[in-house]
Structure 1
Amino acid sequence: MYLLRIFLWLSCVSASASELPSIEKIETFATNYHLNLNIHTQTSSLSGSATITVKNQGTTPTRVIPLRLYRLLSVVDITSEAGKSLNYTQGIVSNIDDSLFQSNYIKLSLSEALQPDQQTTFTVNYSGHIKGYVETGMAYIKDDITPLFSIIRMDAYAYPLITVPDDRVNRASRFWQKLYNYTANIEVDSGLVVANGGILLGVTETDQGRKVYSYKNQKPSWRMDFMVAPYTVTKGHGFKLFTLPGNKYATDYMEKAKQTITLYESWFGQRQSTGEFSFIEIPKGFGAQADVTAIIQDSEGFVEVTRLYHELSHLWDPRSNESYSPRWNEGKATFLEYLTDSRLNKRVSLSSHMTNVLKRAKNQFVKQPKYLTTAFEEYGKAGLNAYSVGALFFALLHHELGEERFNHLLRTFYAAHVKSGASTGDFILALRDLKDPNIDWILSRWVNSHRFTLDILDATNFENFITLSIRSSKI
């Protein structure tokens, strides 16, 4: 455990923490990033800079911009667009709501107040190490810098993020809805490849024989992810695939991806995204993520192809407009991965898949009784996992609506909210707008109460769960 170092401020700092007001509301957000990073695999370190353009999107002037970096990354200097050093403080602090989660908390003090709708640009020069956040319970954040694999991503605060060590404030700001553009120059040892979901602008070589990969985003984003490894790059079908040494499934994976996207487009309509789509392999246990231009998948996902189906289905999720995670999205993706597997591979029936999901849901109820007293709509606020329970909910909708109406519901919902974003409430409203008594019955048990848990507990298999859940069995 690292010692709490709240008051170890750099000697160059002229403002102390006590002179800066506490931040209870974030209204200034990034509109553009430019990263210049050197990845030093031999010393497991990185150094470089992040030039950030921010805009005051609030209604009052601000002079303080909060930033956070990984706990082992230190700011060397922060300069204005004109190159003048700016005042700031930095120190290692624990999150207010999670004492195990530590970060380097920086408060940048602007020389002049930033007025509403005004922008300013500054550069954060920083360096240090990244060693993950496994001890906090987030086991997938194993982030490190090594000759075999390095990852630079938001999850480990590998670049400055405008947030505070209080998730209550961060959630209220909905920072994930604040999209920005980015460019990046990532310097690595010769023989290593930098993977990213953006557009590769070029690769140049330094006088020392190192490689610099230059990327820019394809579409505005709320996160940046850069993976460094001795990747093999395969292209085809409008996709780009980055695979780690020893991967024997690249060709099959690309073909499965093509099949899946073709199937989903027939179900849910065309994705509103252009450009080359990237699939990026990362080692086992590092998690999986998807955005509009890339899927990051761990090695097991190349063998367990249902993971591909799951992540690709997220491409038809509208952006979340909620302060809490819209857990029903994961339930939908879980149902679709098994529905897709039963259609494309036909090795395991949807019924068998969903019976296994039913068993997993029951086990969750035993391990965490909070599930038994929480309406499905409240899972995000309650911090509950809805992969299994949510999959049963969408399987029930699919059964009651039939495939054609089910697909039409998801297609029209995506088209209506792809630009504006959506909330769980928006999706529930779309279900109510169907004016279907059978769907209203389901909502009365899942959204307004937790009575659906009785159906899950009593069911012996998936078919029995459907029989217990539908309206005709209750009247």
Structure 2
Amino acid sequence: MLKIRLLFCLATVVLQQAVAQEYRWQQRAEYVMDIRLDVNTHRVNGTQKLTYYNNSKDTLAKVYYHLYFNAFQPGSMMDVRSRNIMDPDPRVTDRISKLREDEIGYQHIQSLKQDGKNVSYIINGTVLEVTLAKALVPGGKTVFDMTFESQVPVQIRRSGRNNKEGISYSMTQWYPKMAEYDFQGWHAYQYVAREFHGVWGDFDVKITLDPSFMVAGTGKLQNADKIGYGYEKAGTTVKRPEGNLTWHFIAKNVHDFAWAADPEYEHEKLQVPGGPELHYFYQPGAKTTEVWKKMMEYGVRHFEFMNKTFGQYPYDTYSIIQGGDGGMEYPMCTLITGERTFGSLVGVMAHEAAHSWYQGVLASNESLYPWVDEGFTDFAANESMAFMFNETDPHKGSYGGYFSLVKSGLQEPASQHSDHYSTNRAYGTAAYNMGTVFLHQLKYIIGEEQFYHGMRRYYNAWKFRHPEPEDFIRIMEKVSGLQLAWYLNYWISTTKRIDYNVKAVVAAGDETMVTLERVGEFPMPVDLLVTYKDGSKEMYYVPLNETLGNKPVEDKTVQRYDLQAWPWVNPTYTLRIKRRAADVASVEIDPSLRLADIDRKNNKIDMAQAMKPYQDPTK
């Protein structure tokens, strides 16, 4: 009987593990690429061997690749969208429509085989659709061998050649990239300028080009002793071969590979204590050298803060590279424009490097959930900047951006695909500002200590796993003991607004009655601070019935009274204060200002206003 029980328990554990793995399976891609860049024609010739693992329960008859460079052609979806959207990105506008043949981007597939057999394929804009020679069964793997030729476009958006600061090559979204397939199906989106999603895997990349160019990018350089340029260990004698140089990078367990090249780069390194080696690449000059050198130590401090606050960065290196058209994140590196003021340079560095946590390592589908990608990153970067520069209100700008969008009438639900917002303003505010406010307001709901514990637990539980928003909420429910699905739904899937009002403060003998009103349609728990004329304070906490619990006391220096929950269907709530109205100086909703209340003018009553005798509102 004991043996049977042990076998049953073992079978149960195996079954549970199998169910868990089946529920959250992930595809895997291993790239080996050998490419040559001609710096005179701006063309790339390359070979790609891609080993693709089908860890799904589905048999795949087709696969899809992204061909991002094809977006930089007149008449592309990116071109048409940019020329027709209400508020076009000033970096794009109609520039694509004016590109000449030698300025456009393209990716031509010269040959493609699956396990040695030719396959048929169709190119539709920025998507390559491949019909397999042999269907890929669950648990199987297959090898795709490809040769391709690309032309690097004039730099317009993220990727390209000769950006406005004179960086020769910003090579992002530059190779035929396997689209992600998961429990939702294929994510083979056309590229219209916004977000990306990729398959976890390994990259082994060799880049050959003119020896005068320095290369920076994803991964760790394998042949530093033959390359030099500051990559070599101190005291190493560099033995460069004659002719073009081949740079060999390897990156393990990442979902993309980016690089940049320029003959004028300066390369400097700093070590983060207990963290990665930071590499800085910039063009020295009057607009860069001083601010870049000053910024470098802040990069170290930023990584120390992020490691301590949100979880440990898992790779050995990280590169901050001058390039691109603003700031854009990639695994193990970022490309940022470098001719900035010191504050701007540190700010963009902090934001893009924070993406290493909330895109590089967690890798949620940023096309579907840009607010998780940009919002979580912006929140973390704001917190880090506040730490480094002693700022007291780091998220004020995010709240202001959200309030401004609400007033404009352009707000759209943050739940939609990033490409389909009607305006760039609505997209940007939803992704950056609303994502940030979502987290800061979550502090208000569950308490600050539980919040940071939850952020670290989320990172450690879901790194390298493409989490969904519901996975984040479930972690926060576990650490807080509160139900939070209602909050995710209201904030992300609707445009309902938070607006609470201190409707009345009235005398009732030796007590005071306070009536609160929910003016907006978005229900929330309420922190109500009562300040007395003698300087003492009391907090009255009104939980929302949807949370099924109370958050812990946050400020132990102020007495808190936990009241009955406020049912979300009730427009008003009346509470009793056991002190005379004459003793009260003020009553204020949300003194911490974390509640995204669209009209804060009615959140506080000073007792200089006239008092009224109490009347029971139910009679």
TM class by smaller structure: 0.7 to 0.9
Worse-superposed segment, 379-388 or 50-59: 379-388
Q: 2:128 aligns with which of 86, 100, 105?
A: 105
Deviation, structure 1 residue 49: 1.4
Structure 2 CA distance for aligned equivalents of residues 78 and 379 of structure 1: 31
Letter in 1 for 2:109: V
Number of the residue aligned with 2:333: 294
Larger proportion of helix: 1
Is 1:387 aligned to residue 427 of structure 2?
no
Structure 1 CA distance for aligned equivalents of residues 396 and 499 of structure 2: 16
Deviation, structure 1 residue 381: 9.6
SS at match of 1:117: coil
Deviation, structure 1 residue 258: 1.2
Compared CA separation, residues 448 and 38, structure 1 to 2 (3 A): closer
Structure 2 CA distance for aligned equivalents of residues 392 and 66 of structure 1: 36
Is 1:144 aligned to residue 161 of structure 2?
yes
Letter in 2 for 1:289: E
Structure 2 CA distance for aligned equivalents of residues 321 and 468 of structure 1: 25
- Written as runs of structure 1 = structure 2, the 5 A alignment for 1:45-444 is 45-59=43-57, 61-62=59-60, 64-69=62-67, 70-71=69-70, 72-79=106-113, 86-91=118-123, 93=124, 102-103=125-126, 105=128, 107=130, 109-110=132-133, 112-131=134-153, 140-144=157-161, 148-154=167-173, 158-163=174-179, 170-171=186-187, 176=197, 178-202=199-223, 203=226, 209-217=243-251, 219-230=252-263, 231-237=265-271, 238-246=277-285, 247-248=288-289, 249-271=291-313, 273-283=314-324, 285-291=325-331, 293-299=332-338, 303=342, 304=344, 305-317=346-358, 319-320=362-363, 324-346=368-390, 349-351=391-393, 353-367=394-408, 369-371=410-412, 374=413, 383=421, 384=427, 385-399=430-444, 403-435=448-480
| Residues 114-166 of structure 1: CA deviation (Å, up to 9, x unaligned) | 443332323211213132795xxxxx335237984213322xxx2222349xx
Deviation, structure 1 residue 79: 4.7
Deviation, structure 1 residue 190: 1.9
Structure 1 CA distance for aligned equivalents of residues 375 and 596 of structure 2: 20
SS at match of 1:50: strand
Worse-superposed segment, 428-437 or 273-282: 428-437
Structure 2 CA distance for aligned equivalents of residues 417 and 128 of structure 1: 35
Number of the residue aligned with 1:96: none
CA contact (8 A) 2:310 2:455 kept: yes
CA contact (8 A) 1:235 1:241 kept: yes
Number of the residue aligned with 2:542: none
| Residues 63-115 of structure 1: CA deviation (Å, up to 9, x unaligned) | 5444343332212223566xx67243454x3xxxxxxxx336353552x4444
CA contact (8 A) 1:327 1:380 kept: no
Aligned-residue sequence identity (percent) comes to: 17
Compared CA separation, residues 262 and 206, structure 1 to 2 (3 A): closer
SS at match of 2:268: strand
Compared CA separation, residues 232 and 302, structure 1 to 2 (3 A): farther
Structure 2 runs not aligned, ≥5 long: 1-24, 71-105, 190-195, 228-238, 272-276, 422-426, 501-518, 521-589, 605-619
Letter in 1 for 2:126: S
CA contact (8 A) 1:33 1:182 kept: yes
Structure 2 CA distance for aligned equivalents of residues 449 and 80 of structure 1: 45
| Residues 45-69 of structure 1: CA deviation (Å, up to 9, x unaligned) | 1112112122344446555444343
CA contact (8 A) 1:45 1:145 kept: no
Compared CA separation, residues 367 and 449, structure 1 to 2 (3 A): closer
Structure 1 CA distance for aligned equivalents of residues 139 and 596 of structure 2: 55
Compared CA separation, residues 368 and 49, structure 1 to 2 (3 A): farther
Compared CA separation, residues 412 and 41, structure 1 to 2 (3 A): same
Deviation, structure 1 residue 183: 0.8
Structure 2 CA distance for aligned equivalents of residues 334 and 28 of structure 1: 27
Structure 1 CA distance for aligned equivalents of residues 135 and 155 of structure 2: 35
Structure 2 CA distance for aligned equivalents of residues 441 and 350 of structure 1: 30
Number of the residue aligned with 1:35: 33
Number of the residue aligned with 1:22: none
CA contact (8 A) 2:329 2:356 kept: no
CA contact (8 A) 1:171 1:324 kept: no
CA contact (8 A) 2:266 2:282 kept: yes
Deviation, structure 1 residue 212: 1.1
Structure 2 CA distance for aligned equivalents of residues 441 and 430 of structure 1: 15
Compared CA separation, residues 227 and 253, structure 1 to 2 (3 A): same
Structure 2 CA distance for aligned equivalents of residues 163 and 452 of structure 1: 37
Structure 2 CA distance for aligned equivalents of residues 403 and 79 of structure 1: 54
Structure 1 CA distance for aligned equivalents of residues 188 and 129 of structure 2: 20
Letter in 2 for 1:105: L
SS at match of 1:43: coil
Compared CA separation, residues 269 and 144, structure 1 to 2 (3 A): closer
Structure 1 runs not aligned, ≥5 long: 1-26, 94-101, 135-139
SS at match of 1:299: coil
Is 1:452 aligned to residue 493 of structure 2?
no
Compared CA separation, residues 388 and 234, structure 1 to 2 (3 A): same
TM-score normalised per structure 1: 0.72
Number of the residue aligned with 1:8: none
| Larger Cα-atom Rg | 2
| Residues 301-322 of structure 1: CA deviation (Å, up to 9, x unaligned) | 7831122222333333362455
Structure 1 CA distance for aligned equivalents of residues 179 and 472 of structure 2: 29
SS at match of 1:386: helix
CA contact (8 A) 1:234 1:242 kept: yes
CA contact (8 A) 2:453 2:479 kept: no
Report how many aligned residue pairs link the two structures. Answer: 411
Structure 1 CA distance for aligned equivalents of residues 595 and 141 of structure 2: 58
Specify which structure has the bigger relative contact order, considering alpha-carbon pairs within 8 angstroms and separated by 6 or more residues: 1
